[in-house]
Each structure stands twice: as structure tokens, then as C-alpha cells.
Structure 1
């Protein structure tokens, strides 16, 4: 029997390279790289404002089905051993309905053998139907109770294997989650190929629950092809239900699976354990498709996804691949051993001290780089006083966190890093953003915090689709006052934040305030006179005496808090800017001055945010605004303590009498110079530069 001719060396080399890359390299993608070119949208699915929507016309009741799939097939089963891949996915979604009384349906995370079939509308969630592949794995989030499908209720999560009757289901009401509420729901789906554990976790919070709501021992190799498509499927049934995917990340890898422990499978077709041997099975998009399913791509016959089979037996290729992979692994191990002997290991900070040792966790740079997708600009969610804040998904457990990448370096940066850590590490309060850990490697300083699902207060005030309700605003102001009272009076050493503003106040899932960003904070002994420094912070929130002297006290924090109070009550920024982003000139452009002028005219309530539509108690609004003016008093000694502010907001103490005419406290330059004589020369010179912006007899009001 004549031997088959060997394929050309370049083609064979390319084949090996592609195959080794596919099997050895973990697959990872998220919303950073999902576009119209990387998604296959079927039915009514579309992308709007970085959101995948599975509904076409939300205002018109209809019955339809849609899918949104990642455009490339992903490896789910080893072609020679049949060992399945471990994978994990996280996504945030919401389901809204303009007419809650209309019948819904729901959506599902889908693993499908093809990227072109689409199931029926109605209760099937677009998973099943005459035009859909009969074999799939899905996790459904069902808003419709269908007795024929054995649904437990109209608010459940279930695992579907080759059919829409769930193998296992759970009531989401047990977690106080209502799919039809329109609130953002977070879901984690993990499969461990070493244990065959398939788990589903669901929460409103960004923190992955300790216990999954569903756990199933599942041999995925029986339900997947060598390559599968992943994505989402959804359907409606004569309703106005809208399914939106707001975030999605997916990771798949063979690293945790025993790739070479199982014998090669007899066939490369998708099997269904519940079907008889005579049942037709769907051929997978694999390396060796049958003759009836061969494709012609890139002008080459008999190629599928760029991989050719002509003239080469699959077993021979697998043997060469295995040998090649072993040689590559051995070579990589030698390189790592040589490198470890020659390269001096990174020297960690020796002076972190006991405060840092008490930190919850020290992360590695590799962990946080992967969690932020290499610090992608698409992951940026804010900018702090000393760095950029990224949204991150920890690879170890799927928790969603915020990573602050500090931009200060050198010895001074190290000192600031240690100072910030030492302050945050000793603080414990329900209205503080919780520090989860830290990292100091490769010259980088990284801090890991809880991610607040409702963002910052300034975005809730100015960028939200609906106005922040008055009761939420009151709760937020009380929470900030409470944590400032803790920092000023209840800590072992007094902490001055120095950068109180709405963008540094975060909101958790219950719209409770969490104060963050301690990059400018200073810690001093109680009743000790503060040192003078160059004033730092944000104009509009800075106390006038702080701008002039550089001395930060608890009273400068109180002034900043007063500006925040007036901002929250009025819905106006402390400094109004023109179209070019330049601060305007005049009383009306400065929030504190504007509210003082209205108070003088007896029109204080006209400062209330018009977006509230008058939905507030006038006496409550008046009390809050008077508290804001009292805290914004130009004389620092006349401002209340934060303990007193808490009592005022709770109605346990009267608001001090706020004069109708704003007091005007003036200092001459000679008086200011006298107050700085005990400062160091460098601080003294810095203050001289600051003071030079004013004339010899200008008031605080004129300067600020």
C-alpha cells in the first residue's frame, strides 16, 4: 500500500503552532474587547451604549428570540483525550419590563455547538426549537413559570442540559433577588474539570457569595464538543421585557484538567447521554470534520478554521503535538531555572511595619494585572488624588473589586504609600470604603478596595438617569457626617481627610455612603497644632483659611463637608464652569456664596434641587441647608464639630443660628505672615507664594 505523501513543511509547522497555541494558551476576554466584530448577534440582539440588549422594541409587546455569541469557537474538550476544560464566567445583567403585568420569559448563559441556530420565542428562552441545535449547556434566569417545563416559579435560576427542563433549579427569592426588579444582578458560573463541580452564584453585591445557589457534579465532556460557542440567549412572550448584559468576562483553560489521563475518544461527535445510540448527533466544529461538513476557507480545500487535515492522520498529529508540547515545557523549565539563578529576586519593602502586616492580604502584581486586563483604559472607573482606579475581577474567586494604581514613585512615593496604608489599616467604620489588600512590586503601588456598585456620589447626582431621591440624600449626608465624627474624635489619632468631595464618596448597593481616597489624609495626635503645608484638595471644597495658611484641621474638613451638603441639597457643583471647563466669575458661580445670598434674601428653599420635583419635606430641606451653611462659616471657630452635625441631622440637636448676612472675616498680609512664623522655611516660602495672589487687605471671600 503506497504511503501518503508528507505535507509541505511550512503548512505542517503552521498547523502545529496553531494547535499548540489553542490548547496551551488560556482563553480570556471581557467587555474591553467585545465589539460588533467579535460578537455574532442573532435575532433582535444589538449593542447600545456598551450594553448587549436582547430585545428590539421595548415599548411594543412582542414574542421574539435573540442570541449574542462570541464570534470565535473556544476549546472545551481535548481532541485526543476528551478531557474537558475548566472555565469561569462572570456577567452583570438586568431585566426590566415597561409593563410588569405582561408575561416575561428570561435569558440564559449558553454554551452552544454552533453560532447560527436560534430557538423559539416564548418560554424556551431561545434555547430550543426546530431551528436550534438540540445539544447545549445553559444556565437560565427565568421570569416565566411554565408548568409544562416543570418551572418552580417565575423567579428562578436553573441548569439546562440539552433541553429547557432544568436538571437543577433554585428560587432566587431565597436570596432576596427579584429578576423583574430592573436592578443589576451579578452571576458567577464556574466549572472545575478536576472535580467536575459546576457551580452558579448569584448576588446583587459585587462580592461573590461564599456558597453557590446551585452546585452540580457534571462531566462536561459528555455535553460539549472540542470547540463550542459561548454567549447569551433570551426570549419574550408577548411582553415588553428587556434583557441587558452590562458586563461579561470569560476565561477557559486546560491548565487545571488532566489532559493526558484519558484514552482518545472513539468519535469526535457530540454525545448526549440521555439519547439512544440511534439518535442523530451534531458534528462539532472540530479539527477533523466529516466530508459532508468540510468548508472551503481562504481558498484552500478541506480546511476548517484554518486547520487542514489532508494527508495527515489525526493520531499522528496528536503524537507530534504531545511530543512537541513536552519539549517546549522542558525547555521552558530550564529557562526558568537558569533565570532564577541569575536574576536577583525582587526585594520587598522591609519597612512596611506592623500596620501593613495587619492588612487583609498582599496581592501579587500578576494577579492584579490579570484582574484589570493589563490595566486597560476601558477598566478605568475614576481618578483619585494619587492614582487611577480600575474595575477588576480577581481571577482566584471572581470577586469584583476596585484597584487603585498609585502614580507616585521614588522614596517620597514610598513614604506616602506607607502613610496611606498605616492610616487606612487602623480604621474600621461602616461608612468607610474597605481596604482588601495591597501590592508593591515592579515599582508599582497598588491598593485593592471593595467596589461600590452604585458608583460615586457626584455621578449619582449628575449622571444618573433618574434623580437621587431625597431620602437617599439624607442617608448619605448622615453617613458621611458619622464617619467624619469617627475620624476626628473617635480614632486613637485624629485623621484629617483633606479631600472631602462628592467624587470621593462612594455608594454601596443600599446607597449607603462610603468615604474613600485617603491619599491626602494626615494623622495627628488629638489637640496637637497641625503643621503648615501647601494646601491640597479641590477648589470649591477648600476652607478659606486652609488656602491661605496651609494648615489642615478638623474644621477644614467641616467646611468641605458643608460644601458637600449644599451640593447634595441643591444639585449644583461647588464651582460652576463654562462650556470650556473654565470656572465662571461671580457669586452665582460659587455654590456657597450663592446659597448665602439666597439665605440673606429669605429664599433659602429656592436652592433645592429642581430635579427633586418638590418631593421633600420643606423643614427637612431647610434644616439640611442651614447645617451646610453653618459648616461653611468663614470663621473656622464658628463651625460645629462633626459630632454636633450628626446630632443636628438626626434631629437630636438644634441647628445653630445662622446669620442672614454672611460674616466677612478679613486678615491682612502681616497678620497671615505672623501665623506662619513657626513653619519651616520651605513651608513658609510656599505660603508666601500662595498669599501673593491677594492684596494686603483682601478678605477670604475675595480670595476664594
Structure 2
């Protein structure tokens, strides 16, 4: 940075008035900073605008940021710029029962709530508003083009401009998370809207239009969301929201905060007086009357205040020069330290996609706020982050501060940084500062596979499940046979399989992965993984191979097809039709009895092709064979799932090897010790004595 640019920066910093701005997101909002009207309510960390009822209902709700936002400057009426990003979903217990939709809204008051039905809770008597609607109901009264569009509403439910979301293959009523970006440029008065299933803002907007801010904005507006239903079970949930507003730097007068209420007298009024009362929000500033009385004491020359200001400028100028010299020294010393720090990490890490600064990741996660935690991986915690420069949503994995945690992170970083596959979670970059190791990944909007299977309101459709299993198999075939060095994942389970916006599988969490040369005999290590997914030979010998990954994949296949976890909490299977505690054993029993299709998830209500279900279950059993030599390769599994190869003959009786018997006995003994925590644990064994050595609850 040149001397001139540094000097310019400090002069601008010290002498440019601070411009009014507002910034918040879901990570910083509290209950007191939200105002909920009508049917709006909080539900598991999201804002629901309408009621979640099993019977059709007509209602409306509105959720607003409780404090008003300045949108115009006093005097010159220069409009503020703003940008907002939000994720939302529209779900319906009865798809034939169409609802109303929701809208992002700017309104001058925080008390009005529009009617139910197709008005999205917007239209109300004498209410002024600007809204971007996401409409799921075609209403002829409002001249809607269809029941799946975005529109800009200006004091009217008849949209000034609309866009059919079918053109970008977005279906508001799909139940999937939809992301939206809305920006308004105060200097050009252009409003722009982007929509996508992806959490990356698309290159091309769907709507762009000029907005007469002076006509539609008040000095202060409330921002938030509004939604409604019309005899429907449709629900509208806002899952994430960030908002920021600012005034262009050219608006020099922007600094003044709103004055208290004052009475303006009409000079032409009679003696009784005619007045209009201005009632801005409760931001108290020095009295306007006091300012005017001070200015009246100045005559043709400089007033005392102005003389003081000049003296202050001279003093501040000297201070700025001194500060500049110190800042210059500080910048160069930091740069030197940073280069030195990079050298200590090794060349393999410097080749990673991008190095983030600790400062920007700390800002993105709001100082690693507990409200931003979205998961816990191997030896680390995962946070949702919103990058301050572009609003992109990412997943930030922060390693535990133990030496083992740091070793696992460096291992994960060195392995996944070299991998490129459509079914692997993409690593965006890394950070190693202040004793912290941080990894930055794409955030998967549909969460993990285990949550989609066991926590989602609606059952995961069979078509999604087949696509997910094929994606994971493709990723493992790449790791095992197509990489320069073979990668053994060692921790394949549904919680480590993430789902993108299209429910495509992305295998992640490489904290336990090991990289070896192809065809090289594996070394014995400490076995680590999750109960129910571990191959018997790996648990007892500690040698991880591609076949141990295949066994874990087989357990995942059976879990996805059956909707049951690999190890059930209730060993007796009470209340579950006599289900065995071990999923693999149970499915093998059904196969032996000729009742294999009874393993299908009952929540699918038989909405699947029986031949496909049978094929998938047989693939799961083939991969779960207790004899590692009988398990197929992952490349063969891919061919089986797409129908290009036949599933190998699976014996009706599970092969009984010594390893299999010892494996079952150990799993049962471990299960008894944790029967009250769903039977899911991470275990490690001592390979020298083939004995159990530790349990970590996950």
C-alpha cells in the first residue's frame, strides 16, 4: 500500500461522517429483536409465518425486525442501499391443498397485518409497502401468471414485475430449501432479485427494475416477512436471514440520527396554529431547537464552534500523521509474521484452494457463536458461516484443541485438498492462525442423510434414496480405485453423507481417512469408527482396507432402504415387529426366510419399484458379507445399482466366520453398555491384544 493511499484512508476514516447503517442476521437476532404478528411463531430455530395444522386453515402472519431501519436521509431524501439474503421452505401435508405463499416486505409500520388468502398478509387498509412475493397461489384477482412465481409488489397485490420460476426449475412447493438474494442500490435506485436452490448466488438475476424510492420509501421502514394461507395446510418457514443497509458515501448529511418528535408550525396558520407532528422511532439525538439556537449565534464571521472545529482539524491532522507511521510499521510486521507462519505448514497445505484469514472466518461465524453450530465431525465442530464480503454461506469446521484433533485435521486437509469429485463435499479453503486450524467447505442446504431419514417431517422419497446411494458408491469408487493414491475413508455413515440442493450425495468428514499406495498391504492401526458400520475384521485386527469401507457402505444401504439405524436401541425389538438390534443380522434373517421386501421402510407406503428395492437390499447384503473377499468392489456396486451388472448370489445363510462370531459378541456387549443412548458410539480397539480399549459417544 502506497503512502498516498494510506494517508487518504486515514483522512477518510477520521473526517468522513459515520453513515447510518443497520446489520443483523439470525445468528445475532434475539427474541426481543423480532416482532411476530398473527400466526407467526418461532419453531426449532426457524420463523414460521403460518400455523402448522393437520387441517386446512386460512390465516396470515408477519415477522419483522423490531427496530425501524432508516431508508431516507432527512432533507435530501437520498435513499439507502440494502441487501438481504434468506433461506426459506414451503411445505404442505396435503399437496393438493394449495396455499398462499410468503413475501419479503418493507413497511412503514409494524402493527398492520393483511388478510388471509392470496394477499400474503400484505394488503391492509391505508398500508404502504414494498414487497418481493414468492407466490404459490394463482389468484385471478391479482392477475397472477401462475402458482409458482416471484413478483415485486408496490402498494398493491398486482405485481409491478413478475418472473416464472419454472424457467429456472425452482418449485416453491417442493418442500426444498430455496435461497433468495435481494439488493437495492440507492445511487441507481435499481432493485435486483436472485433465486436458487444453491447457496451460491447465481450470476444472472431473475428480476431487475427501477424503484422510485422517494415514492415508496418513508424515512424509516420496518423489514421482515409476511405469509398467508387460503384454506390450506401449507406452511412457510424462514430458516436463515441476513440484512444490511447503508447510505452511499456521497450522502454527507447521512450521519445525523433521527431527531425526537418536534412540532412544525405552519406560518400561514391562524392564531390557534396548525401543526403536524413527526414521530420518528425512539433514537434520541440532540434537540433540533438547540442546534438552531446555536447556529443563530454565528454572524458573518466564524462562530466559536467553527473556530473550535478548525483547531480540531489541525490537531487531528498531526495525530493522523503519527498514527499513519505506526500503522505502516504494524502492517509490514504482520505481513512478515504471516509469511513466516505459512512456511511452517508445509508446501502440501499451501496448495489448498484458498487461504482464509482468521478474522474473516471469525466474522462469518459471529465469533464462533453457539447458535451457529450445525454439527460435530471427527475431532471438530462445524459452524454455519456467512462470508462478510459476498454473503455466501459456508460450513466452517473448527478443530478441537487436542493434539490428536489437530493431527486429524491436518490429515483431513492434506487428503481432501487433492480430491475432486461431484459426490464429495468441496473444500473451499483453510486457515491456520492464532493456534486454530479451520477448514471451509460448501454448505449443504439439505443437511445430512441421517437427518433426512430420521428427523424430516416428510419421508425421503425412494427416488432420492436411490440417487443418494448411487452417488456415495460413485464417490467411494473414485477414492478406492481412481485417485492417484488410494483413500480409505474409515468413517462411512449417514451422518457423514451430506445432501446438496438437489438431494445429491456429498461424502464428507475425512478426519479418520488414510491415504496409501494402490495394492499396498495396509498397516495395522487403532480401529476407529461408529458401532454398526464397522467390518468384523477391521474391528478385530485394526487393518482398514477398501473392503472395510465396502462393509460400512453396505450398512448405509440397508439403513437407507429400511429407514432403521444399524444398531437399534431396543435389543428385544419391542414395538418394532420383533426387529433385531443389529440391522444387518435382521435383514439377513428376512432374506433367509424369503421375506426380504419386509425390510423396506414402511414410511414409503410401498411407493417404490419392488425390483429396485430388492436389488438395493441385495447389494446391501453383498457388501455386508462377513467374508471380506466375498464383498464386491465399489466400482462393481455402481454397475449393479445402475443395472449394468447383476448382483452376486447372496447365500440365504450369512457366512459364519470366526471373525463374524467375535464381531457380533463384541457389538452386543458394547450395545448393552450404551442401551440408553441409541447404541451409536465411536469405538477403538487395541490391535496388539484384540481387546476393546475405549468408547467415545458421538
Could you give the per-residue CA deviations for residues 253-275 of structure 1, whole angstroms, max 9, x where no partner exists? 34x53332x699xxx9xxxxxxx
Question: Which of the residues 464, 473, 490 maps onto 1:481?
Answer: 473
Instruction: Tell me if 1:155 matches 2:148.
Output: yes
> Which structure 2 residues correspond to residues 174-573 of structure 1 after superposition, within 5 A?
174-193=167-186, 195-218=188-211, 220=213, 223-236=216-229, 241-254=234-247, 257-260=249-252, 286-291=258-263, 293=277, 304-307=282-285, 309=287, 311-313=289-291, 338=326, 341=329, 344-345=333-334, 346-347=337-338, 348-350=341-343, 355-408=348-401, 416-573=408-565
Q: Tell me the CA shift for residue 688 of structure 1.
A: 2.6
Moved more, 332-341 or 237-246: 332-341
State whether residues 177 and 446 of structure 2, in contact with CA within 8 Å, keep that contact through their aligned partners in structure 1.
Answer: no
- Larger mean CA deviation between 189-198 and 330-339 belongs to 330-339
3-state SS in 2 of match to 1:27: strand
**Residues 365 and 215 from structure 1, CA distance in 2 versus in 1: closer, same or farther, beyond 3 angstroms?**
farther
Partner residue of 1:111 out of 106, 114, 117: 106
Work out the CA distance in 1 between the residues paired with 2:95 and 2:189. 39
| Deviation of 1:218 (Å) | 4.6
Go from structure 1 to structure 2 and tell me whether the alpha carbon gap of 1:413 and 1:66 turns closer, same or farther (over 3 Å shift): closer
Distance change (3 Å), C-alpha of 1:567 and 1:216: same
The counterpart of 1:88, out of the listed 69, 83, 87, is 83
Structure 2: 5+ residue stretches without partners: 1-14, 264-275, 296-304, 572-577, 661-684
Q: Is the 8 A contact 2:148 2:166 kept in 1?
A: yes
- Give the secondary structure class of the aligned counterpart of 2:543: coil
Match of 1:536, SS state, is strand
- State the TM-score, normalized to the length of structure 2: 0.78
Task: From the superposition, tell whether residues 540 and 174 of structure 1 become closer, same or farther in structure 2 (CA, over 3 Å).
Answer: same
Q: Once the two structures are superposed, what CA deviation does each residue of 1:362-398 show, in whole Å capped at 9, x if it has no partner?
A: 2222222222222222222211112111222222222
> Does structure 1 retain, via aligned residues, the 8 Å contact 2:19–2:254?
no
5 Å-filtered alignment, 1:134-173, equals: 134=128, 136-145=129-138, 151-173=144-166
Once residues 311 and 35 of structure 2 are traced to their aligned partners in structure 1, the CA distance between those partners, rounded to angstroms, is 34
CA displacement, residues 117-167 of structure 1 (integer Å, 9 cap, x when unaligned): 3345555444344242x3x33222234556665554443323334444444
Residues 233-279 of structure 1: CA deviation (Å, up to 9, x unaligned) = 3345566554332322222334x53332x699xxx9xxxxxxxxxxx
* Structure with the largest fraction of strand: 2
1:462 is displaced (CA, Å) by: 1.1
Structure 1 residue aligned with 2:12: none
Distance in 1 separating the partners of 2:292 and 2:566: 70
Q: Which one of 57, 60, 67 corresponds to residue 62 of structure 2?
A: 67
CA contact (8 A) 2:177 2:501 kept: no
CA distance in 1, matches of 2:411, 2:584: 32
Per-residue deviation, 1:514: 1.2
Alignment match, 1:14? none
C-alpha contact 2:536 2:659 (8 A) present in aligned 1 = no
3-state DSSP class of the match of 2:522?
coil
Task: Call closer, same or farther: CA 1:526–1:287 in 2, change over 3 Å.
Answer: same
Give secondary structure in 2 for the equivalent of 1:509: coil
- Flag the 1:204–1:483 CA change in 2: closer, same or farther, 3 A: same
After TM superposition, give the deviation of residue 110 of structure 1 in Å. Answer: 1.5
Equivalent residues of 1:587, 1:593 under 8 A apart? no
Is 1:613 aligned with 2:597?
no
Task: Compare 564-573 and 51-60 and name the one that shifted more.
Answer: 51-60
Structure 1 residues 164-222: Cα deviation after superposition (integer angstroms, max 9, x where no partner): 44443322222122334444321111234455443211112222111111223456466
Kindly report which structure 2 residues correspond to 1:553-702, keeping only aligned pairs within 5 A, or say none.
Answer: 553-577=545-569, 588-666=580-658, 686-688=686-688, 690-691=690-691
In 1, Cα distance between the equivalents of 2:329 and 2:93?
65
Cα distance in 1, alignment partners of residues 262 and 635 from structure 2: 77
What is the match of residue 71 of structure 2? 76
Unaligned runs of 5+ in 1: 1-19, 269-284, 296-301, 580-585, 669-684, 695-704
Distance in 1, Cα, partners of 2:470 & 2:364: 34
Partner SS state of residue 249, structure 1: strand
Distance in 2, Cα, partners of 1:487 & 1:627? 19
Separation in 1, partners of 2:241, 2:101: 17
Contact 1:193 1:257 (C-alpha < 8 Å) held by counterparts: no
Q: Distance in 1 between matches of 2:687 and 2:52?
A: 61
Distance in 1 separating the partners of 2:317 and 2:212? 28
Distance 1:329 1:101 in 2: 70
DSSP 3-state at the match of 1:191? strand
Sort the Cα spacing of 1:219 and 1:445 in 2 relative to 1 into closer, same or farther, 3 A: farther
Q: Is the 8 A contact 2:193 2:207 kept in 1?
A: yes
Give the superposition deviation at 1:418: 4.1
Relative to the length of structure 1, the TM-score reads 0.77
Deviation, 1:691, is 3.1
2:20·2:254 contact (CA, 8 Å) conserved in 1?
Answer: no
SS in 2 for 1:248: strand
Q: Is the 8 A contact 1:54 1:66 kept in 2?
A: yes
In structure 2, the residue matched to 1:274 is none
Which residue is equivalent to 2:299?
Answer: none
Residue matched to 1:7: none
Q: Hey, what's the Cα distance between the residues in 2 that align with 1:525 and 1:194? A: 59
Distance 1:240 1:325 in 2: 64
More deviation, 560-569/168-177 = 168-177
Larger deviation: 587-596 or 425-434? 587-596
Residue 312 of structure 1: SS of its match in structure 2? helix
Cα distance in 1 for partners of 2:489, 2:324 equals: 46
